[in-house]
């Protein structure tokens, strides 16, 4: 009897302990378990925001779609199911078999197709309901997902970016604004009984939040024109790659930013990386803008100021000279710019001194990020003045021994076009929430780098480069163009000349033209960079013509009137949608007319005294 009594006491004590645990120690756990048994939660998709150009043209958007998934534990014959689905999903049977075969007893999920079209959906429905296939496809189903689409295909792909299968941005704007674009999923929660939802039961809905729309400053018409011009010239010049940036210098807004690369087949295509921000290079003479602007600002020089220029100059142990050579003479500052004289530029740099020149290079935006905020954006390589050594004081003023990207170059030229005020480049115009509210974006940084007088003097010199100097091929009839050429040596990455610029007759080049127009009231600025062209190797013959081609079309697209009667008589044209061929564009501009066959123009040879020389000193290898 005593043992039985003790047993009952222990049993009673255990009941009391369980009740204490249920009511006071862990009540939330069991309450949550009960709610989970009597409630049903359904996820409500929140669609990713769109990416649009400045006029509302859709570059990226999300639409409802379907994905195909499987529970491998329920698939009775994975090989048979894979054989049925392979031709429908256009996936190799071995790939499907791997997803349909359980990797472990807990493996309950396999994705067979991330996104399928309507025709595939209809085919799968027929298979799921078919007498001969329904049993074989048991455990395989479709479920709604968000599908990211890019209506313009590869147009502006390096800018817009792409997403992974989980709708996370991997590069470009899709990555940069991931948190704002993705939105937030909602959920619907309702009470349920053993036979399903309770008719009058409690139900709560947390609506999904759609992501913000990102409005870019890009104009898709201009982007298309730039990409096509780069593809054409990249293939004609047999270049490794080419890139360009088009902006409005008054606002810093980027109207186009394009990259093309040459494939093994010899064609040039739009890649996934954004060269104007990611790639850096030694710019050559296009950087002389900074040295001459600094000299004008510091010493009050004008284009007519004479500077004694010897035929050559030695900095440390390196010889710097001009090509073709000239006798010692007094050259006006404007001619030092227009004829791209290395020695004259170095003489001006010596008057400035390393510290002042370095300060101006920084003020013009070099050696630092532009503020666009892109993934993997390069800041370039610019050592502080106290770290210049050897021939750096000769090579850096003429654009060797320093690396920049194309966006930095266009921003520097915009500072001159904008009356001496440096303005950060701008890629995003607005961020719009799903309810139409505009989210503020970070303001552009601006600063005065030179006076308006200096900007005017330098602009006049840059116009001489196009009118009577190395950049004559950049001229656009009816408009005054201000710009500068740059032809730089590239460092060999491998081979017997690895780490050096090579030797005469065996060099690689990168050529550039940067400028703006109309020079008297700049509304458009363009930089063109061509990497390692094979047919021609000077900026005046490679980059300057691309600048002119792009400017010719863009001026008409945005309707900038000419200042003279020498312009194209066709006048402004309507914007052309992305994807149109050259023939379609011509027909749009000349309705009802037959396009004439025009023989190609004969190339105009550069004047011997005005060729764009190899604008770096002979033997500047110690500057990197």
Active site residues: 285
Dist CA 432 CA 438 (whole Å) = 5
Tokens of 515: 């400028």
Dist CA 92 CA 96 (whole Å) = 7
Residue with tokens 């600025």: 525
- Beta strands at 140-149 and 162-163: parallel, antiparallel or unpaired: unpaired
Asked whether the beta carbons of 180 and 51 are under 8 A apart, the reply is no
What is residue 124's DSSP assignment? H
Residue 14 CB-density burial (10 A; 0-12 exposed, 13-18 middle, 19+ buried) = exposed
Dist CA 86 CA 80 (whole Å) = 10
Dist CA 361 CA 527 (whole Å) = 18
Asked whether the beta carbons of 458 and 289 are under 8 A apart, the reply is yes
DSSP 455-466: HHHHHHHHHHHH
Distant-in-sequence, close-in-space partners of 405: CB < 8 Å, separation ≥ 6: 276, 277, 278, 279, 280, 281, 370, 377, 378, 380
Neighbours of 605 (CB within 10 A): 8
Dist CA 248 CA 400 (whole Å) = 28
Residue with tokens 């047999």: 238
Torsion, CA 134, CA 135, CA 137, CA 139, rounded to 10: 120
Dist CA 454 CA 456 (whole Å) = 5
Closest by Cα among 359, 365, 348 to 388: 359
Q: Residue 71: what are its φ and ψ, rounded to 5°?
A: -100, 100
Dist CA 532 CA 486 (whole Å) = 13
Dist CA 385 CA 382 (whole Å) = 9
Dist CA 461 CA 464 (whole Å) = 5
Quick one: how far is CA 365 from the chain centroid? 18
Distant-in-sequence, close-in-space partners of 77: CB < 8 Å, separation ≥ 6: 136
What is residue 23's DSSP assignment? I
Q: At what angle do helices 288-299 and 452-468 cross, to 10 degrees?
A: 140
């Amino acid at each position: 009897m005593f043992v039985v009594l003790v047993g009952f006491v222990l049993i009673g004590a255990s009941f009391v302990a369980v009740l204490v645990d249920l009511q006071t120690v862990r009540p939330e756990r069991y309450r949550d378990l009960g709610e989970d048994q009597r409630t049903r939660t359904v996820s409500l998709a929140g669609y990713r925001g769109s990416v649009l150009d400045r006029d509302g043209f859709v570059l990226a958007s999300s639409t409802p779609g379907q994905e195909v998934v499987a529970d491998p534990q329920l698939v009775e014959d994975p090989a048979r199911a894979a054989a049925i689905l392979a031709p429908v999903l256009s996936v190799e049977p071995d790939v499907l078999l791997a997803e349909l075969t359980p990797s472990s007893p807990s493996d309950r999920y396999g994705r067979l197709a991330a996104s399928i079209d309507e025709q595939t959906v209809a085919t799968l429905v027929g298979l799921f309901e078919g007498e001969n296939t329904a049993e074989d496809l048991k455990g395989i189903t479709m479920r709604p997902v968000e599908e990211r689409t890019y209506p313009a295909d590869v147009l502006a792909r390096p800018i817009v970016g792409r997403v992974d299968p989980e709708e996370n941005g991997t590069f470009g704007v899709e990555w940069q604004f991931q948190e704002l674009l993705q939105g937030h999923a909602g959920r619907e929660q309702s009470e349920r009984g053993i036979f399903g939802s309770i008719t009058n039961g409690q139900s709560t809905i947390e609506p999904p939040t759609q992501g913000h729309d990102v409005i870019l400053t890009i104009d898709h018409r201009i982007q298309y024109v730039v990409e096509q011009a780069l593809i054409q010239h990249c293939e004609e010049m047999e270049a490794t790659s080419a890139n360009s940036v088009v902006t409005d210098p008054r606002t810093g807004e980027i109207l186009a930013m394009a990259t093309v690369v040459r494939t093994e087949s010899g064609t040039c295509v739009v890649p996934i990386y954004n060269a104007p921000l990611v790639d850096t290079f030694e710019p050559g003479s296009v950087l002389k803008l900074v040295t001459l602007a600094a000299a004008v600002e510091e010493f009050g020089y004008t284009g007519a100021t004479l500077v004694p220029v010897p035929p050559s100059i030695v900095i440390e142990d390196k010889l710097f000279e001009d090509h073709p050579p000239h006798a010692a003479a007094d050259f006006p500052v404007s001619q030092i710019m227009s004829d791209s004289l290395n020695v004259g530029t170095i003489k001006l740099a010596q008057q400035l001194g390393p510290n002042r020149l370095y300060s101006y290079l920084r003020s013009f935006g070099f050696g630092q990020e532009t503020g666009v905020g892109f993934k993997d954006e390069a800041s370039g390589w610019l050592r502080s003045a106290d770290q210049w050594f050897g021939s750096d004081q000769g090579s850096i003023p003429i654009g060797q021994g320093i690396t920049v990207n194309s966006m930095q170059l266009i921003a520097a030229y915009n500072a001159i076009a904008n009356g001496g005020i440096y303005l950060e480049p701008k890629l995003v115009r607005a961020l719009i929430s799903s309810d139409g509210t505009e989210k503020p974006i970070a303001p552009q940084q601006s600063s005065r780098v030179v006076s308006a007088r200096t900007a005017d003097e330098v602009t006049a010199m840059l116009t001489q480069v196009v009118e009577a100097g190395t950049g004559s091929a950049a001229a656009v009839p009816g408009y005054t163009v201000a710009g500068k050429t740059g032809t730089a040596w590239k460092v060999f990455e491998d081979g017997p000349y690895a780490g050096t610029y090579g030797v005469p007759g065996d060099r690689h080049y990168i050529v550039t033209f940067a400028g703006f127009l109309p020079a008297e009231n700049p509304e458009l600025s363009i930089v063109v960079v061509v990497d390692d062209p094979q047919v021609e190797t000077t900026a005046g013959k490679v980059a300057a013509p691309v600048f002119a081609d792009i400017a010719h079309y863009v001026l008409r697209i945005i309707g900038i009137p000419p200042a003279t009667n020498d312009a194209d008589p066709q006048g402004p044209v309507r914007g052309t949608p992305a994807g149109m061929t050259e023939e379609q564009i011509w027909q749009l501009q000349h309705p009802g007319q037959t396009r004439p066959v025009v023989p190609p123009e004969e190339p105009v040879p550069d004047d011997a005294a005005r060729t764009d020389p190899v604008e770096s000193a002979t033997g500047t290898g110690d500057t990197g």
